[in-house]
Structure 1
Amino acid sequence: MRKRLRRFAVVGLIATAVDVGLLVLLLDRGWSVVAADVVALAVAAVAARRLHRLVTLRDDPFARWIRIRRVFVSVVVTAGMVDLAVLAVLGTPGGPGRDLAAKAAAVAAAAVVRGIAYRAFLFRVIRREQDRPSERPPPPGAFRVSVVLPAYREADRVADAVARVREELGGALGRAGDVEPVEVVVVDDGSPDDTAARAEAAGADRVVRLERNSGKGAAVRAGVAVATGRTVVFTDTDLAYGPAQAAALVTQVEAGYDMVVGSRRHTDTRTLVRAGRLREVGGRLVNLATHALLLGQYRDTQCGLKAFRADVAHRLFDASTLDGFAFDVELFHLAERWRLTLAEVPVEVENSERTTVRALRDGLRLVVCVSESYNQRNVGKSVADSLLDLEEVLKLAGQQSTPVDVAIG
Structure 2
Amino acid sequence: MVCLNCVIQYLASVFFVVISFLVSLLHFKTPKPRQRTEAETYYQSSTTKEKKKVDSIFNKPSVFLSIIIPAYNEQERLPVLLNDIYNYLKNRENPKPNEKNHGKSKESPRTPFTYEIILVNDCSSDKTTEIALEFGRKHNLNLKVIVMEINRGKGGSVTQGILSCSGEYVLFCDADGATRFKDIDNLLDRITSENVDKSSGVVAIGTRPIVDSTTIVVQRSFVRKLLQSGFKLYVNILGVRGIDDTQCGFKLFNRTAAKTIFSQLHIERFIFDIEVLLLAQHYRFPIIQVPVNWHEVQGSRMSLVRDSIQMALDLLALRLNYLFGLWKTLPISEIDRR
Relative to the length of structure 2, the TM-score reads 0.67
Q: Residues 199, 295 of structure 1: CA spacing in aligned structure 2 closer, same or farther, 3 A cutoff? A: closer
Contact preservation (8 Å) 1:320, 1:330: yes
1:301 aligns with 2:246: yes
Match of 1:149 in 2: 69
| 1:329 and 2:267 aligned | no
| C-alpha contact 1:231 1:307 (8 A) present in aligned 2 | yes
* Structure of higher CA gyration radius: 1
Measured after TM superposition, the shift of residue 239 of structure 1 is 1.1
SS in 2 for 1:190: coil
Report how far residue 179 of structure 1 moved.
4.9
2:152 paired with 1:214: yes
- Write the distance in 2 (CA, Å) between the matches of 1:170 and 1:304: 23
How far the C-alpha of 1:141 sits from its partner, in A, is 2.5
CA contact (8 A) 2:68 2:117 kept: yes
> What is the match of residue 183 of structure 1?
116
CA distance in 2, matches of 1:241, 1:272: 15
The SS at the match of 1:207 is: strand
Displacement after TM superposition at 1:237 (Å)? 0.9
* Cα distance in 2 between the residues matched to 1:295 and 1:184: 30
SS at match of 2:253: strand
Shift of 1:381: 5.9
Q: Please state if 1:233 is matched with 2:233.
A: no
Percent identity of equivalent pairs: 23
Partner of 1:271 in structure 2? 212
Match of 2:132 in 1: 199
| RMSD over aligned Cα atoms | 2.7
Q: Cα deviation per residue 1:261-309 (whole Å; 9 max; x = unaligned)?
A: 11125xxx78355362332222223212211112423111011111101
SS in 2 for 1:314: helix
Moved more, 196-205 or 170-179: 170-179
TM-score normalized with structure 1 length: 0.56
Higher helix share: 1
| Equivalent residue in structure 2 for 1:168, among 88, 99, 106 | 88
Q: Are the counterparts in 1 of residues 204 and 290 from structure 2 also a CA contact under 8 Å?
A: yes
Report the Cα offset of residue 317 of structure 1. 0.8
Gap change, CA 1:151 and 1:223, over 3 Å in 2: same
- Equivalent residue for 1:261, pick from 194, 198, 205: 205
* Distance verdict in 2 for CA 1:179–1:169, change over 3 Å: closer
Where structure 1 has 5 or more consecutive residues not aligned to the other structure, the ranges are: 1-138, 401-409
Aligned residues: 252
- 2:172 aligned partner, one-letter code: F
Amino acid at match of 2:86: R
- Corresponding residue of 2:258: 313
1:368 to 300, 309, 313: 313
The amino acid that maps onto 2:133 is E
How far is the alpha carbon of 1:312 from its aligned partner? Answer: 1.2
Offset at residue 374 of structure 1 (A): 3.7
Matched to 2:154, the amino acid is K
Inter-CA distance 344–170: structure 2 relative to 1 (3 Å threshold): farther
